[in-house]
Chain A
Amino acid sequence: MRRTILSLLALAATLAAQTPFDRLVNADKDPANWLTYSGTLDGQRYSRLTQVTPANAKDLELKWVLQTRAPAEPNSKYEATSLVSDGVLYTVQPPNVVVALDAVNGKIFWTYPYNPAPQARACCGRVNRGLAILGNTLFMGTLDGNLIALDARDGHVIWNTQVGRPEAGYSVTVAPLVVKDKVIVGPAGGEYGISGYLAAYSAETGKELWRFNTIPKPGEPGHETWENDAWKHGGGSIWTTGSYDPALNLLYWGIGNASPDWNGDVRPGDNLYTSSVLALDPDTGNLKWHFQFTPHDEFDFDATQVPVLADITWAGKPRKVMLFANRNGYFYVLDRQTGEFLLGKPFVKVTWANGLDAKGRPIRVGHSTPEGSLIYPENQGGTNWYNPAYSPRTGLFYIPSWLDTHSINTSRAEPYREGMPFNGGSATHEVPALRPGPTNKRLPELASGAIQALDPKTGAVKWQFKMMDVTDSGVLVTASDVVFAGGREGYFYALDARTGAPLWKAMVGGAVSAGPTTYAVDGKQYISIPAGNAIFTFGLR
């Protein structure tokens, strides 16, 4: 009898679950909600909401603002994409404060203020890029290397699992991805000489179910691309969310740089699977294929961009492809069933390679050197983790780009010491790497930012909306042909998705360093964007 009662209670909890996995798979048909990091599992950040149009975008107005609890620490940045489920918006204020609030009026339901352990290392800011949801459970990675499950209704901790040791530089800043009953994450720490992996955890218990080593260990395929013992601290971090194709049952994930970043001489070989994209079986973690964008990277060119999955016509036939604008300055189209290289074309000025060969391998002409070498694009790349978007309506791929930027890349010998930076050099550049200064006095030709619209079939830039300063903003595109994005200057824009013409802008008073979210409640569409130390939400008058 007791067992029956318990079963009924557990069943009741299951039935009440607000976000089963089917709902994530079919998120495109449920545009009122934003249920995954990229809105849909294909990574497109394409919303089928159409209330805001090029004609009426000028009528957008501020509906509410949520300030963070306190001024952000100097090295904090608000990078999280919000989730929205049934009128509740979930966000993560840096570094690990989860907030559930009413998506219509911004009033807080609950907060979960996780305080990362002092051992946490963050190379590039105390950041978090967002949550995942399954059923009534939210999942958050923490700066000190944990994965935490929270009850979405009251913020109570359900389980807490260690992903990696913070004292050795492992942290979790990526927004997790839920595939079926598993939560997929991996550790950042490419600047601390971690040995990376992507891992799946039981959504119910937090138990690790599989792990794929992004730096293959002895005996594992790919290990031969490390010609000495440098693999032990080879990097291969995880810090931007992957995507998933339910029909192919393939999980795609971009992998970070090799360690040490700038000194390739100490790690001869291609250094798989750094600066690569992987296609994995999400049930087992087995590798189906891989493609390495930057073999033997010497410029910190992580491939930690969102793999965007699109079904397009290629050479006259329907083809399942992956669109990937890489930090190394090239835009790639791959066959996502096989990993076959279909197209690669630079979208910004590139000098480290003189094109790609027939298989997509770069024809390398530039290297980091002890005396320093000038390389385009700069260390932060032609683009970076900032989320791209793809519209099946316009057929265009939208990316936040850094135009005309360069770095002086300098290599140097540096011993590995656990928990200490392991960069093997450095890059100097005109643009502050991670956040804007208080003013901008640069010559325009030294750097500018843009939202670019690429034609995936040719790699041609169809239009670009230029900004004086660069942008760390994600991009969103809607089925009414409106693109939303921002930049470091503190503007948040609506652009015409077909022409790039600016339709509307709001000054949000701080750099936009996150991806916009759109959702609807009671038939009204909202667009929400974190910027500076706050989150701003707009709707039509």
Chain B
Amino acid sequence: MVLKRLHVSIWALALFGLPLFAQEGHGVTPADIQRGLLIYTSSCINCHGPDGDLISGVTLASGRFRRAQSDNDLIQIIQKGLPGTAMPPGAYTDDQASLLVAYLRSMSTSAKSTRNGPPGEPARGKALVESKGQCLNCHRIGNLGTVTGPDLTSIGGIRRLAEIETSLLDPSAEIRPENRPVRATVKDGTKIAGTLMNQDTYTLQILDSKGKLRSLYKANLRDYELLKISPMPNFKDKFTAQEMSDVISYLVSLKGLR
């Protein structure tokens, strides 16, 4: 599912033409899109919103831009702003602006919300997250919870509604690279579980289930596996339709910093 979606994104990018990367023969990778998302999250989301539709008449996720045809046009706007509008210039390098464009292009092929539930109530959702859902056993929201699962403090500001829905209803459908679970067995039989932070030919870097950063040397491991199944439970049957709406409305409301 993840790969399919990314393939679609990359094809979409190919169809749009890629002058920004053409000179050096690069393509766009999922990591590029992730890095673009980080920039979008830190610099664009306050005005444009996670779905890119908060400014009247501007729908970034549509893949169509009134004042830009090519990626280079978009880069110019990102770097120089749009005089006479609220769009300010941004001090981005060409590389950073290109990553941002990669993310903007990927938005048009991301999933749209398909769920038709009752209206949700964020306050009830908060209570469910902190009690019945036991979400804070793995996740962190603000000061509460742990770091073994993804941080939800800003989840409503950095993930689109459809993505949050998918995570609750089909957690393994999309495991983002930054949330990849890993399991390893040391030669003495000790089991280690955690989240993959990095890897190379000889080592793995993980945040283990106790919240400790550590390197594992493959030569010392009996085996290890990067899991394609999320450790997160499926909440489809755990929450009623109303509860699911409440939880989603709460998560969407989490826009970050205190």
Chain A interface residues (CB < 8 Å from chain B): 1-2, 5-6, 9-10, 12-13, 16, 70, 86-88, 100, 102, 104-105, 107-110, 113-118, 136, 151, 153-154, 156-160, 204-206
Contact = CB atoms under 8 A, between A and B. Distances in A.
A153 B213 contact: yes
Nearest 5 interchain pairs by C-beta: A118-B91, A109-B197, A156-B151, A102-B215, A109-B213
B258 A5 contact: no
Given A5-B130, A110-B197, A153-B211, A13 B146 contact: yes
17 contacts: A9-B145, A12-B146, A13-B143, A13-B144, A70-B95, A102-B203, A102-B213, A107-B215, A109-B207, A114-B42, A115-B39, A115-B42, A115-B96, A116-B91, A118-B91, A154-B151, A159-B257
Contacts of B205: 102, 107-109
Interface residues of B, number: 40
Interface string B243-258: 0000000000000111
Given A70-B95, A154-B151, A87 B146 contact: no
B198 A108 contact: yes
Contacts of A13: 143-146
A156 B210 CA distance: 17
A2 B144 contact: no
Nearest to B144: A9
Contacts of A151: 140, 147, 151
A206 B146 contact: no
Interface in B32-57: 38-39, 42-43
A114 B39 CA distance: 9
Interface string B90-112: 11110110000000000000000
Contacts of A9: 136, 144-146
A105 B96 CA distance: 28
Contact of B215 (A70, A104, A113, A118): A104
Contact of B258 (A70, A118, A153, A205): A205
B38 A113 contact: yes
Interface in B44-83: none
Contacts of A113: 38
Chain B CB count within 10 A is highest, among A9, A116, A117, A136, for: A9
A107 B200 contact: yes
A153 B140 CA distance: 12
Contacts of B151: 151, 154, 156
Contacts of B213: 87-88, 100, 102, 109, 153
A157 B130 CA distance: 21
B89 interface: yes
Nearest to A204: B143
A156 to B, nearest CB: 4
Interface in B192-232: 197-198, 200, 203, 205, 207, 210-215
Nearest to B136: A9
B153 interface: yes
Given A118-B90, A158-B257, 8 more contacts: A10-B143, A16-B210, A16-B211, A102-B203, A104-B215, A109-B213, A115-B96, A154-B151
Chain B CB count within 10 A is highest, among A109, A136, A204, for: A109
Contacts of B145: 9, 13
A70 B88 CA distance: 25
A13 B39 CA distance: 29
A87 B214 contact: yes
B29 interface: no
Contacts of B89: 118
A489 B94 CA distance: 32
B127 interface: yes
Contacts of B147: 151, 153-154, 156
Contacts of B136: 6, 9
Chain B CB count within 10 A is highest, among A6, A104, A153, for: A153
Contacts of A1: 131
A6 B210 CA distance: 18
A356 B236 CA distance: 78
A6 B200 contact: no
Contacts of B146: 9, 12-13
A35 to B, nearest CB: 16
Contacts of B96: 115
Interface string B145-175: 1110001011000000000000000000000
Chain B CB count within 10 A is highest, among A6, A16, A115, A156, for: A115
